[in-house]
Amino acid sequence: MPGAIYAEGLVKTFGDVRALDGVDLDVPEGTVLGLLGPNGAGKTTAVRVLTTLIRPDSGRAVVAGTDVLEHPDEVRRSIGLSGQFAAVDEYLTGRENLRMVGRLYQMRAGAAKARADELLERFHLADAADRQARTYSGGMRRRLDLAAALVASPPVMFMDEPTTGLDPRNRQELWGVVEELVAGGTTLLLTTQYLEEADRLAHDICVVDHGRVIARGTSDQLKDRTGGERVEVVVHEPEMIDDARDVLARYGVAGAGRGEVSVEEHTRKLTVPVTGGAKLLAEVIRDLDAVGAEIDDIGLRRPTLDDVFISLTGHAADRVEEEGEREPAAGGRKNRKEAVK
């Protein structure tokens, strides 16, 4: 049986760009799928197709048991969409925003009011409920946007880069809210550029690049596939990097010498894939000592999702760190309204 979100062979082109190039997805009910990929990978396009905002050129999708192309209106009633760019009305208060969404869903005034109050409480916005949204911080806006997507208690949620641009504290707080939501049984498709976000929230991860799913599995499965353990050393003096590299090259698992040791000059960190575990560490320490390389830090570690990503895509994940760095996308608000109709 297909999951709560199911897609098969989705293709979507914009001129010469194949934003989606044959994407298959299957998200079991009550689980979280993390769609992980760099800028321009096709994440938003996938979300827009699955939430009925655009039609694919080919392929099919079923969300909450309903075919997205055949019965878009019915799909819209079963989903919530929370965007990368807060889709709130700046000049309404938090409370008014949520009531308005309730009314868009044709809730009775009393029910819309009660639901708004409940969500304001749950998203720690009660104190700010009667202030215009334009006075909110980035984190508060994001929480209000998420609350708005949840007004109608949809069984299936889509979140497009929900924490991009948030500072670490706000990101942590939003993760907590998402975890509560999922504990309540909601199926969630989340797009992100943040590996730690996928690691923490997603049961399954699809890594996308250039409109294709290039890897899928749990976070652990992806890490295992990327390779085994590695020794990481931070030397005290920049001058010792070269000697340390010679030492580590002897321990590389592939016997490929210096080429196997990766070096991050500015942090004085050297990394080499190994087998042999903790026993090996003692030998490495002894050898580094023998060449006079003082060690600030040494450890054995498994690949992170960052390593997975780099090994799959050949580049590190792009990130947008500054809060409010980007303006809301033109049309984002309109699309949201279409989605809640």
Ligand X SMILES: Nc1ncnc2c1ncn2[C@@H]1O[C@H](COP(=O)(O)OP(=O)(O)O)[C@@H](O)[C@H]1O
Count, residues near ligand X per rule CB under 6 A: 11
163 binds ligand X (CB under 6 A): no
CB of 226 to ligand X, least distance (A): 21
40 binds ligand X (CB under 6 A): yes
Name which of 47 and 247 has its Cβ closer to ligand X. Answer: 47
| Distances, alpha carbon 195 to alpha carbons 206, 313, 316, in Å | 11, 13, 10
100 binds ligand X (CB under 6 A): no
> From Mg ion, ligand X, none, which one binds at residue 3 (CB under 5 to 8 Å depending on kind)?
none
Rounded CA separation 47/85 (Å): 14
CA angle 274, 277, 282 (to 5 degrees): 100
Token pair for 193 = 């550029």
39 binds ligand X (CB under 6 A): yes
Residue 294: other Cβ atoms inside 10 A: 11
Which candidate, 64, 55, 23, 66, places its Cα nearest to that of 211?
Answer: 23
> From ligand X, Mg ion, none, which one binds at residue 82 (CB under 5 to 8 Å depending on kind)?
none
CB of 45 to ligand X, least distance (A): 3
CA angle 215, 34, 24 (to 5 degrees): 55
Name which of 43 and 268 has its Cβ closer to Mg ion. Answer: 43
> From Mg ion, ligand X, none, which one binds at residue 19 (CB under 5 to 8 Å depending on kind)?
ligand X
CB of 100 to ligand X, least distance (A): 27
Task: Pick the binder of ligand X from 7, 27, 36, 41 (CB under 6 A).
Answer: 41
Backbone angles phi, psi at 120, to 5 degrees: -60, -40
Q: Note whether 69 and 55 are within 8 A (CB).
A: yes
Task: Pick the binder of ligand X from 42, 83, 165, 273 (CB under 6 A).
Answer: 42
Rounded CA separation 30/5 (Å): 10
CB of 306 to Mg ion, least distance (A): 20
Rounded CA separation 300/253 (Å): 14
Token pair for 325 = 């760095």
User: What part of residues 43-82 is at the interface with ligand X (CB under 6 A)?
Assistant: 43-45
Name which of 208 and 288 has its Cβ closer to Mg ion. Answer: 208
Q: Which residues bind Mg ion (CB under 5 A)?
A: 43-44
* Interacting residues with ligand X (CB under 6 A): 14, 17, 19, 37, 39-45
